Structure 1
Amino acid sequence: MNDAPLHLALIGDYNPDVIAHQAIPVALQQAARVLNLSVNAQWLDTDTITSTASLHGFDGFWCVPASPYRDIDGALRAIRFAREQRRPFLGTCGGFQHAVLEYARNVLGWADAEHGELAPDARRAVITPLSCALVEASDAIRLAPYTRIAEAYGSLDIHEGYHCRYGMNPEFAHALLEGELIASGHDTAGDLRAMELLNHPFFVATLFQPERAALKGTTPPLALALLKACQEACA
């Protein structure tokens, strides 16, 4: 086992009743064993992320499900840090939603961009309710070739589970996805389910919850990919 442990920040407000929160530490330990690594994962409650000073010591970031978060600004601060400092980042479910919001505000300059769960009447709600809520649902997903996520799975066709009610607002999808933020996975209806940033070592976000596979004994490919990216960044 490599001597120096990786330090990973879990952005979100820990709740032991949330299935994804149960699964993520298991997923990381499974991936660490496969890669012969030691990983220290630390939960960062969003209302404790008041500056970037506490973020510099982390090799990577995972923005976790179960939003709305207690402090949306804390979550966005950590996501922005990972994006700008080129630290490996994975966002799942709520992490996907807030990665979209962070990009809209800080890259596209949409200061009025909002999350529709918190501001349903906002003129520029970039996250809005899904046409069909994906609560304890599963579906096939088609991945875009030559993307980080496709590389992680080693396949273009996957099947994953969800516990999600919100996604990217189709009204703003074209503007959001015409630059470095790209669509990298769609479901059987053609709806966006995964995205990633170009020109970043590893910045992937999914509306589905790949971590859930860990509770069934399967090491999630994206947990492996996240740790690999952290390992490469530290080399």
Structure 2
Amino acid sequence: MTRFIFITGGVVSSLGKGLASAALASLLQTRGFKVRLRKLDPYLNVDPGTMSPYQHGEVYVTDDGAETDLDLGHYERFTGVASRRSDNITTGRLYSNVIARERKGDYLGATIQVIPHVTDAIKEFILSDLTDEDFVLCEIGGTVGDIESLPFLEAIRQLGNELGREGTMFVHLTLLPYIPSAGELKTKPTQHSVKELLSVGIQPDLLLCRSDRDIPSSERRKIALFCNVREEAVIPGLDVDTIYQVPVSYHEQGFDDQVCKHFGLSGAPPADLSRWNKIVDRIRMPEGEVTIAVVGKYTSLLDSYKSLGEALQHGGIANNVKVRLNWIDSQIFESEEAIHELEDVHGILVPGGFGERGVSGKIAAVKFAREHRVPYFGICFGMQMAVIEAARNLAGLSHASSTEFGPCDEPVVGLMTEWLRGNQLVHRAAGDDLGGTMRLGAYGCHLQPGTKVADIYGAAVISERHRHRYEVNIDYKERLEQTGMVFSGMSPDGVLPEIVERPDHPWFIGVQFHPELKSKPFDPHPLFTSFIQAAIRQSRLV
């Protein structure tokens, strides 16, 4: 029997519904249950793919090529369960599907309404593409009271009736603010949030109350009384020093025990938190420290690089060191004096991005890493910048550039119009919808034997996730190889460069894909593990 847990949020946004969902799923896993996580987003965009990182943060990409909410990254990092296209949906996609079905006549001429047609589509999504999962956790984006989330709340209310109490549970995440002038935590926002949820017909079964300090038992009793829940189902969600402490903290507060009690699973095995305790111990008691400069475009909002920041920390966990991240806006390097910002770092990473802004600064960072023999990791756009830097400064192609920035004499990087995905030829054009011009999802890559990446992966063929429109132009491969650059990873058909490296450098690797999307604290990505190892060696030289 599949049981559904619906996680909603109230009072304010950014309370951590995604982390709470991921942490609960990981706890249920440790008790022997099979889990699946899903995110229902109320905004009207079809997906996050064309949204600004400053508004929405990172776009997380799945193996099957879906551009999804960043919370799916939390889901994967905490559970190891690969997310799929069927695990994230938006109001925009729902309405697009409903309207398309109406135009095809699927509704037999009925008047299309939010209830039942949109809510039926939401329920269909929640119940689809499942096999033998014990628990499906569905996070409802936004905050209770937002007009956009009403159809989703109505849909899960209906499912609560249809599947019964034995098949559904409602978890509501709220905030208990501390008022310094009063010297106390205030429960009124939580009471009002639950009242708002009750107004749409949903009685929460468990309250997860975020707070920056301990919640007295008297306050928990008060919340239970006014919100009509059992006192033991009022769970403190206290601030912790690392997100990987969250499963441990929530277990100590009885979160997973209350979930099992709700579903009558008293005989479930106890939670085994040894893996999480080991990870937390390594984070809290490292044996050393390295500093990595991340030279990017969206550094003023770190959610733009959520998976990247976590993957670097995973590399630190694997090597038992603390990774201190120095987030640097690449535009500052357009001034030559600013390059001194990189003098004391132990590694330089240039991440993905779009557009021309900050390009010259990223190229300057690549040049500094190459000339000063500082470990360099270029991801997606960062690989392209490494190739352009080599073409300009080593191959004598002073006008080398990318057609992403406009027409150029030496298009070392350009828009590819077709490529193979398995046995299927995929076409695209510059004028296609933005999401349609990307190479998205998992693609295979053949590694050249004897190269650094072949040694790092310990494999001849790998699969990694992509999200980009432009590719390194294979026509320049020979010229670039003459500069000492090795094309150590290629697409299976040998047309698309996937990885470049410099054997004459301590650690210099650029990849066209996004390895950070597959890294987990208990299974760090090998490239990040190796990069941090190189940074440790560099720290002994500085």
TM-score by structure 1 length?
Answer: 0.92
Distance 1:109 1:87, change over 3 A: same
Of the candidates 354, 372, 380, which is equivalent to residue 93 of structure 1? 380
Of the candidates 486, 490, 499, which is equivalent to residue 182 of structure 1? 486
**Distance in 1, Cα, partners of 2:447 & 2:474:** 19
Alignment of 1:93-132 (within 5 A): 93-119=380-406, 121-132=407-418
Distance 1:143 1:134, change over 3 A: farther
Match of 1:230 in 2: 535
Match of 1:53 in 2: 340
One-letter code of the match for 1:45? D
Unaligned runs of 5+ in 2: 1-284, 419-436
Answer yes or no: is the 8 Å Cα contact 2:490–2:498 preserved in 1.
yes
**Distance in 2, Cα, partners of 1:136 & 1:45:** 26
**Distance in 1, Cα, partners of 2:505 & 2:518:** 26
Given the alignment of the two structures, is residue 144 of structure 1 paired with residue 448 of structure 2, yes or no?
A: yes
Of the candidates 510, 521, 524, which is equivalent to residue 205 of structure 1? 510
How many residues end up aligned between the 2 structures?
232
Q: Which moved more, 1:207-216 or 1:96-105?
A: 207-216
One-letter code of the match for 1:43? W
Answer yes or no: is the 8 Å Cα contact 2:395–2:483 preserved in 1.
no
One-letter code of the match for 1:27? A
Q: Which moved more, 1:44-53 or 1:155-164?
A: 44-53
| 1:162 to partner: Cα distance | 0.2
**Distance in 2, Cα, partners of 1:72 & 1:134:** 20
User: Tell me, what secondary structure is at the counterpart of 2:519?
Assistant: helix
Answer yes or no: is the 8 Å Cα contact 2:293–2:327 preserved in 1.
yes
Distance 1:16 1:113, change over 3 A: same
| 1:150 to partner: Cα distance | 1.2
Answer yes or no: is the 8 Å Cα contact 1:13–1:69 preserved in 2.
no
Given the alignment of the two structures, is residue 22 of structure 1 paired with residue 306 of structure 2, yes or no?
A: yes
Percent identity over paired residues: 27
User: Tell me, what secondary structure is at the counterpart of 1:66?
Assistant: coil
Q: Which moved more, 1:204-213 or 1:151-160?
A: 151-160
| 1:217 to partner: Cα distance | 6.1
Match of 2:360 in 1: 73
**Distance in 2, Cα, partners of 1:172 & 1:215:** 35
One-letter code of the match for 1:30? H
| 1:92 to partner: Cα distance | 0.8
> Which is helix-richer, 1 or 2?
2
Unaligned runs of 5+ in 1: none
Residues 179-235 of structure 1, C-alpha deviations (whole Å, 9 max, x = no match)? 310110011221211110121000000101111112696411111111011112223
**Distance in 1, Cα, partners of 2:399 & 2:354:** 20
**Distance in 2, Cα, partners of 1:60 & 1:16:** 19
- Supply the RMSD in Å over aligned alpha carbons: 1.8
Distance 1:94 1:84, change over 3 A: same
- Structure 1 segments (4+ residues) deviating >6 Å: none
Answer yes or no: is the 8 Å Cα contact 1:46–1:69 preserved in 2.
no
Q: Which moved more, 1:208-217 or 1:59-68?
A: 208-217
One-letter code of the match for 1:174? E
Residues 26-64 of structure 1, C-alpha deviations (whole Å, 9 max, x = no match)? 101111111100110121111122332111011101110
One-letter code of the match for 1:104? A
Q: Which moved more, 1:35-44 or 1:169-178?
A: 169-178
Larger relative contact order (Cα-Cα within 8 Å, sequence gap ≥ 6): 1
Answer yes or no: is the 8 Å Cα contact 2:314–2:520 preserved in 1.
no
Higher Cα radius of gyration: 2
> Which is strand-richer, 1 or 2?
1
Match of 2:497 in 1: 192
